Amino acid sequence: VIPGWFSEISPMWPGEAHSLKVEKILFQEKSDYQNVMVFQSATYGKVLVLDGVIQLTERDECAYQEMITHLPLCSIPNPKKVLVIGGGDGGVLREVARHSSVEQIDICEIDGMVVDVSKKFFPDVAIGYDDPRVNLHIGDGVAFMKNAPEGTYDAVIVDSSDPIGPAQELFEKPFFASVARALRPGGVVCTQAESIWLHMHIIEDIVTNCRQIFKGSVNYAWTTVPTYPSGVIGFMLCSTEGPAVDFKHPVNPIDANESACKSSRPLKFYNSEIHAAAFCLPSFAKKVIDSK
């Protein structure tokens, strides 16, 4: 360990470790579910770390939060009811709130400490909780999904950590089936779906499961996040049987400074061109994803 540096060592990326220079550790405690740490980095702002894995940094969180939210919500004409599973930092809520058609934003986060820590150390991310349309549930997203009435949501966003840890069940078939049931016909789901550089086997299994469960369209998109190992992270975009969804051509564009809630800042990353581009994949990934 190099003093003054945080190295992200994890079985999720064997043999490599992204490092950030640490100025000061601001918080470190064990919740009922995981180790929660916040540190001030030298060049990426404050950093949220769960069980030794970087979840977000102030400097580049926009790339992840904006893409995981607007890829699904800009793909359907009039999203009204949205559910977020995970996402306790509030960043996805901040992005969903930009859509004026949205009337109800439910969020189910298993670890209350993540919510409290985000509100204290990441106010520009946790600002999402200020929107009056938000209903926060602290609990297991798997159970929440099972209890959701059939056909409730226009969109579900699964902003989870990784299959190693509390989020494991959010990557399994029964959970995807419960999401499909809770979505209306032609509803959409967007899930955190790992890195094509590091996790092609995990992605292969997710695509196989999604194609069996979601009878609309199933697509993989990706974005660049410099502080995620391999510099990229992806998303599964699926729709249920019903009105066709063409993820690659946003029917409900959001422009750079549209924001339904007064307090949100202009978009830093997402735009309609990068929406379409996000679905263009390198051949080694296309071969696996398009063949399933």
Ligand X SMILES: NCCCCCc1nc2ccccc2[nH]1
CA distances from 213 to 25, 207, 216, 239, 253 (A): 43, 10, 9, 10, 27
Q: Which residue in 60, 106, 154, 159 is the catalytic one?
A: 159
Part of the chain binding ligand X (CB under 6 A), chosen from 22-30, 77-85, 157-165, 247-255:
157-165
**Which listed range, 159-167, 174-182, 209-217, 269-277, lies at the site for ligand X (CB under 6 A)?**
159-167
* Minimum gap (Å) between residue 30 Cβ and ligand X: 18
Residue that is written with structure tokens 């550089």 in the block: 197
Let me know: does 150 contact 199? Beta carbons within 8 Å: no
**For 160-187, b where at least 16 C-beta lie within 10 A, e where not — what string?**
bbbbebbbeebbeeebbbbbbbbbbebb
Selected range binding ligand X among 35-43, 142-150, 158-166, 207-215, rule: CB under 6 A:
158-166
Taking CA atoms, 272 is separated from 67, 73, 115, 247, in Å, by 11, 12, 30, 11
Under rule CB under 6 A, residue 57 binds ligand X: no
193: helix, strand or coil: coil
Q: How far is the CB of 90 from ligand X (least distance, A)?
A: 11
Shortest Cβ 230–ligand X spacing (Å): 6
**60 part of the interface to ligand X, by CB under 6 A:** no
Based on CB atoms, which residue is closest to ligand X, 74 or 225? Answer: 225
Among 37, 38, 53, 125, binds ligand X (CB under 6 A): 53
Residue of the chain from 34, 55, 191, 209 that contacts ligand X (CB under 6 A): 55
Residue 265: left (phi > 0), alpha (psi -120 to 50), or beta? beta
CA atoms within a 13 Å half-sphere pointing along the CA-CB vector of 30? 1
Choice between 106 and 159, CB closer to ligand X: 159
Is residue 159 part of the annotated active site? The answer reads yes
Provide the minimum distance between the beta carbon of 185 and ligand X in the complex, in angstroms, as a whole number: 28
Residue in 115, 57, 66, 63 with CA at minimum distance from that of residue 86: 115
What is the pattern of x (binds ligand X, CB under 6 A) and - over residues 213-242? ---------------xxx--x---------
DSSP category for residue 77: S
Q: Which of 110, 162, 239, 275 binds ligand X (CB under 6 A)?
A: 162
Q: Which residues sit at the interface with ligand X, rule CB under 6 A?
A: 53, 55, 159, 161-162, 192, 194-195, 198, 228-230, 233
Active site residues: 159
